[in-house]
Amino acid sequence: MFARILIQAALLLTLCGPAWAGAELQTGAEIRLIAPVTDDLVAAGRSVSVDAPVAGDVVAAGLDLRTTASISGDALLAGFDLAVKAPVEGDLAAMAFDLSLTSDVAGDALLNAAELTIGPTAHIAGDLIANGTEVTLSGRVDGDAHLTGDRVIVTGRVAGDMEVTSGMLELRPGAAIEGDLRHNGPMAVEVPAGVEIGGTVRHHYQSAPDDGPTILGSLGKALALFLLGVALLWLLPGPVLRAADAMPRHALRHLLLGGAILLLAPVLLGLLMVSVIGIPLGVLMLGLWLLALPVGIVVTGFAVAVKVRRRGLGTEREAAAVLLRRYALAALVMAALPLVPVAGLCILTLIAAIGIGALAENLRHGRRGGLAIG
């Protein structure tokens, strides 16, 4: 039932297929689309606003991302603050810290956010999978709905079955579930007056959500890696691409350097924390150390993308689109590695160490210039 949206979201994420060769590519600090696009659209920047219709699929990433005009195909959207205010005539896959959906989705919807709001004007014609810390469903879902969050609030209508995994599920007056309701959580849900449930209500006791890796969780991590990669490429294009270019030639050296950084940094942090003067510096270094792991994975992902891209070069615009496409595929593969018990995490750690070593060596040398993508 939900395999279709997962597969389609994965296909969107990898940007595979010849159709993307003619896609409209826009990058920069602030992007505002005001002219209609007759093909697919790939956009990445600090602020992205899609204010004109797009006739094809859309892949967009930005800290502040808005869609106010219709999208005729599928949409893959990733941002910090994301608002979908116009119809999506295909499937929608979106991830953000704060995500708001107030429009129609003609297909399925896969949504991941800390704060997720599906407004009363939203209408999802297919199935819905929603993950978040706080999830609010006030709109209409014609298919089935799977909701996961610490707190889930439902005031909308679901035509199919609804399954909720949450520590706190609130059904408010006006909510309607035409199928069955299954709730996984510590306490049975109360069904107040004004709530309609056409099928059965079942409760399965669950003290805490399963923290094991899942396909849905891996897809969310892949979206996060893609967004982080776009941000790094925008902030540090030269160092990131030079490190990625040099990595295949010096993989062992980068692995040893990255491993040393990962192992020795906690020791240095401990020495700094014992003194009052060193605490601020230690806290700063701790933040950098935690950020180093995903950054290292991103750099290695770009190394794979650059290596594959060199097999055939076109124009600068085509080269940039292919680089993002290859990197997105690498991000999807790396995010799925934890699904492989033990070995997957070991491989991911090695990937992070190589990337950290390559970037650290490049920053230490301080060479100017960048690697031309095209």
Residues 51-96: tens digit of each pLDDT: 999 999 998 887 889 999 999 999 988 878 999 999 999 999 988 8
Tokens of 34: 């005001």
Predicted pLDDT at 19? 45
Cα–chain-centroid distance for residue 295?
Answer: 15
Q: Over the stretch 226-239, which tens digit does the pLDDT of each residue have?
A: 778 877 877 778 88
pTM flag (> 0.85) = no
Mean pLDDT of the 151-157 span: 96
Do 13 and 30 form a contact (C-beta atoms < 8 A)?
no
Do 149 and 137 form a contact (C-beta atoms < 8 A)?
no
Q: Over the stretch 99-124, which tens digit does the pLDDT of each residue have?
A: 999 999 999 999 988 899 999 999 99
The CA distance from 335 to 217, in Å, is 9
β 157-158/181-185 pair status: unpaired
Of the candidates 92, 168, 86, 183, the residue with the CA atom closest to the CA atom of residue 132:
168
Tokens of 217: 């969780």
Of the candidates 125, 150, 131, the residue with the CA atom closest to the CA atom of residue 139:
125
Residue spans of the domains in the chain: they are 3-205, 215-365
Of the candidates 327, 319, 109, 121, the residue with the CA atom closest to the CA atom of residue 231:
327
Can you tell me whether residue 250 is helix, strand or coil? coil
pLDDT band at 336 (very low <50, low <70, confident <90, very high): confident
Mean pLDDT of the 141-155 span: 95
Q: Over the stretch 168-221, which tens digit does the pLDDT of each residue have?
A: 999 999 999 999 999 999 888 889 999 999 999 998 887 655 555 555 566 667
